[in-house]
Every structure is written in structure tokens, then in C-alpha cells.
């Protein structure tokens, strides 16, 4: 196995796990409804941005793997 492939894969997995963890914490806070509506609206926006970030990380990984010859599109 190539160290570049392993390194890039671990990096992407770690970033996605971090993004999912942040989203899980936000979901728990939103479910409790112990904060005002302004904060809840902001957290919904943050969730959307986090989902977009995870999608971009995944797309970037696919493009990197394609560039280095690990995947073919």
C-alpha cells in the first residue's frame, strides 16, 4: 500500500468524523430547545454549512485519488 494513499485516506476520514461529531452535538442542543430561536436558526445554518463541507471534503478526496491514479472516473 502506498503511504500517500493511506495518509490522504486517514486525513479525510478524520475530517469527516470531526464534522459529523460537530453536527451530532448541534443536533442534541437543537433537540433540547433550551436556547432561544435566534440561536436555533443559526445552528440550522451551521448544520447546512457542515454538510456542504463534508461533501466538499469527500469530493476533494475523490479528485485527489483520481489525480494520483488510485481511482478512475
d(CA 32, CA 29): 5
10 in any annotated domain: no
- Please give the DSSP secondary-structure letter assigned to residue 69: T
Number of domains the chain contains = 1
Output the pLDDT for position 52.
Answer: 92
User: Which is it for the CA torsion 14, 19, 22, 23, positive or negative?
Assistant: negative
d(CA 54, CA 17): 9
Residue of 64 and 73 predicted with greater confidence: 64
pLDDT tens digit string along 27-70? Answer: 888 777 777 888 888 888 888 898 999 999 999 999 999 999 98
3 in any annotated domain: no
4 in any annotated domain: no
Output the pLDDT for position 56.
Answer: 94
Place of cell 463534508: 54
Q: How confident is the model at residue 73 (pLDDT cuts 50, 70, 90)?
A: confident
Q: Residue 44: give the domain boundaries.
A: 16-67
pTM for this model (two decimals): 0.79
11 in any annotated domain: no
5 in any annotated domain: no
39 in any annotated domain: yes
Amino acid at each position: 500500500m502506498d503511504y500517500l494513499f493511506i495518509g490522504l485516506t486517514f486525513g479525510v476520514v478524520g475530517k469527516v468524523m470531526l464534522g459529523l461529531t460537530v453536527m451530532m452535538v448541534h443536533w442534541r442542543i437543537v433537540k433540547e430547545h433550551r436556547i432561544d430561536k435566534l440561536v436555533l436558526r443559526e445552528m440550522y445554518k451551521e448544520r447546512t454549512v457542515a454538510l456542504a463541507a463534508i461533501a466538499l471534503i469527500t469530493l476533494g478526496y475523490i479528485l485527489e485519488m483520481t489525480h494520483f491514479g488510485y481511482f478512475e472516473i
